[in-house]
């Protein structure tokens, strides 16, 4: 774990993986998760010469909380972070809830981006609605709106369950709700524990911080995605149950310069976890 201190005095924690001498690449984690998720691209980074920097978003993991944060605050933090690390230009990878952060950075400073990839990325929910999201997400939204006092115990219980082996109940039951490809990934103990640790770190400070992070997805992003001219590599599995493929199709239709990478059998986790090398190869123009 390493840190940078921004001009505001806030600290941003980050994990570093891949090739230490490689080309800089920022990895934006999903929700609910933290920068430890970037470990999943370690092998691809080492093979392909990418220095993977995966920050904890403000208030998650070990990064300082930022009250009232908006999506467009992130590019400013990232620009400072890149400057301190000595990165002039860099690649971007955003997985699931990290997808909107890729688009925000591309919108704000396209001149500094080498490539931009979203993997099973979250859509602008103010435009497309929440009705098609996986039921656990909709359940959390229901709690947030009407029974907010239950959020903390639900997430704490989730942290306890996350320590179970894939064969234990209720973990086995939760995995059973996923698409077949995702089940294969989540039954792999090493990979499942990276995902679980990312979740546990996301609530290491306060559950209220992960709530604030989620609220950003429910707000207007603050920019028009249809104005983004920078090329976007957009990956999505047609069998994704967490963020259904219909969302990806709608978002891709709004982006004027998108290269779609639709996979037939992938779900949410199989695409994000098992295809890291493929995603990186496409970003580097080697696919």
Domains of the chain, residue spans: 2-283
pLDDT value for 14: 98
CA 24/CA 12 separation, integer angstroms? 17
The pLDDT tens digits for 14-73 are 999 999 999 999 999 999 999 999 999 999 999 999 999 999 999 999 999 999 999 999
Q: What strands, in cross-sheet order, belong to the sheet with 11-18?
A: 2-5, 11-18, 50-55, 23-28, 90-95, 113-119, 232-237, 258-263
pLDDT value for 91: 98
User: Which regions of the chain are under pLDDT 50?
Assistant: none
Q: Quick one: tokens of 24?
A: 């800089």
pLDDT value for 127: 96
CA 43/CA 45 separation, integer angstroms? 5
pLDDT value for 144: 86
What is the radius of gyration, based on Cα positions, of the chain? 18
| 44 burial via Cβ count (<10 Å: 0-12, 13-18, 19+) | buried
pLDDT value for 65: 98
What's the CATH number for 2-283? 3.40.50.1820
pLDDT value for 143: 86
Torsion angle, CA of 181/202/276/76, rounded to 10 degrees?
Answer: 140
pLDDT value for 218: 94
CA 220/CA 222 separation, integer angstroms? 5
pLDDT value for 107: 98
pLDDT value for 287: 72
Give me the residues paired with residue 26 across strands: 53, 92
CA 59/CA 95 separation, integer angstroms? 19
> To which residue do tokens 């290269």 refer?
259
The Cβ of residue 233 has, within 10 Å, a number of other Cβ atoms equal to: 20
């Amino acid at each position: 774990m390493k840190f940078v201190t921004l001009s505001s005095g806030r600290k941003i924690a980050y994990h570093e993986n891949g090739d230490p001498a490689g080309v800089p690449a920022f990895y934006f984690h999903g929700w609910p998760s933290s920068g430890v998720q970037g470990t999943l691209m370690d092998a691809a980074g080492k093979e392909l010469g990418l220095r993977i920097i995966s920050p904890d978003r403000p208030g998650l993991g070990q990064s300082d909380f930022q009250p009232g944060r908006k999506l467009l605050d992130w590019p400013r933090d990232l620009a400072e972070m890149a400057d301190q690390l000595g990165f002039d230009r860099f690649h971007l990878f955003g997985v699931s809830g990290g997808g909107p952060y890729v688009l925000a950075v591309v919108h704000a400073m396209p001149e500094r981006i080498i490539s931009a990839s979203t993997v099973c990325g979250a859509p602008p929910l103010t435009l497309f609605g929440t009705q098609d999201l996986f039921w656990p997400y909709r359940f959390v939204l229901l709690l947030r709106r009407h029974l907010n006092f239950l959020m903390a115990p639900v997430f704490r219980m989730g942290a306890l369950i996350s320590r179970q082996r894939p064969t234990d109940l209720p973990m086995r039951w939760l995995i059973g709700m996923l698409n077949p490809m995702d089940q294969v990934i989540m039954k792999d103990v090493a990979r499942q524990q990276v995902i679980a640790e990312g979740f546990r770190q996301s609530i290491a400070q306060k559950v209220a911080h992960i709530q604030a992070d989620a609220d950003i997805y429910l707000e207007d992003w603050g920019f028009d995605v249809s104005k983004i001219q920078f090329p976007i590599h957009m990956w999505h599995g047609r069998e994704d149950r967490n963020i259904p493929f219909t969302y990806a199709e709608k978002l891709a239709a709004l982006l004027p310069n998108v290269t779609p990478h639709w996979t037939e059998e992938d779900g949410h986790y199989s695409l994000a976890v098992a295809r890291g090398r493929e995603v990186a190869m496409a970003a580097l123009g080697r696919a």
